[in-house]
Amino acid sequence: MAKGKLSDRQRDMIDFIRKFQNGSGYPPTIREIGEAVGITSTSVVNYNLNKLEKEGYINRDLKVSRGLRLVESLQEKAEALSEMIRIPIAGRIFASQPVHVPDAAASFAPDEVIEISRTLVKDPENLFALQVRGDSMIDAMVNDGDIVVMRRQQQARNGEMVAVWLNDRNETTLKYFYQENGKVRLQPANPTMKPIYVEASNVEVQGKVVLVVRQMKQ
């Protein structure tokens, strides 16, 4: 079927579905689509999805909550691949109590990478990826096994999620960063865990989280 003209709202839906799929590895729900494009009524979202399916832009399986996929031509797939960027996986980062560096060593091959859409990051320079271990950042939607894409930087603003190196302990961890009265508070996003206070001189910021790639459970 020849594809028809999209409304602005439907085009926004297609763009969101593509970005969500590229970032998470699975399609969004109707509610997530509605929130992304500013539609509060799931019936209105469903109406537009039905139009997209009728015009040949998506396929749907109404038996499951994430039962949709984009229908793309070979040309569109080739164009999408050209817009992918490859980010090296540098190792693991522990979202837990700080972990001593030898214990944090990862067995990733030097050429192991993660591929993401260029549309998901504003600037593809100075990026690296780390696999998360631990659950101290679960309320920030960062779970054990997820991949965090980091931008290399040595400074951080209060409230940014960063990977830090603790000089006095030879340890590393992933936490929210706050400077307070000459010290740094490393704040977990888990109500069962307490913050960690460290002298500012002992903290080296290694990078800031710019994207989380969710890993599907087996």
On the question of pLDDT at 2 being above 60, the answer is: no
The residue behind tokens 């920030």 is 140
SS3 209: strand
pLDDT of residue 171: 85
Alpha-carbon radius of gyration of the chain: 20
Q: Which residue would you say has higher pLDDT here, 68 or 122?
A: 68
On the question of pLDDT at 172 being above 60, the answer is: yes
Exposure on the CB side of residue 29, measured as CA atoms within 13 A? 7
Q: Are the CB atoms for 163 and 174 separated by under 8 Å?
A: yes
Q: Are the CB atoms for 95 and 134 separated by under 8 Å?
A: yes
pLDDT of residue 136: 92
Exposure on the CB side of residue 15, measured as CA atoms within 13 A? 12
174-178, Cβ contacts within 8 angstroms, sequence gap of 24 or more = 174/93, 174/94, 174/95, 174/130, 174/132, 174/134, 174/136, 174/137, 174/142, 174/148, 174/209, 175/95, 175/136, 175/137, 176/140, 177/205
The residue behind tokens 């400074």 is 155
Catalytically active residues are 136, 175
Q: Which helix (H) or strand (E) holds 37?
A: helix 30-37
Mean pLDDT of the chain: 83
> Which residue segments constitute the domains of the chain, with CATH numbers given?
8-79 (1.10.10.10), 83-213 (2.10.109.10)
Q: How confident is the model at residue 9 (pLDDT cuts 50, 70, 90)?
A: confident
Q: Which residue would you say has higher pLDDT here, 25 or 69?
A: 69
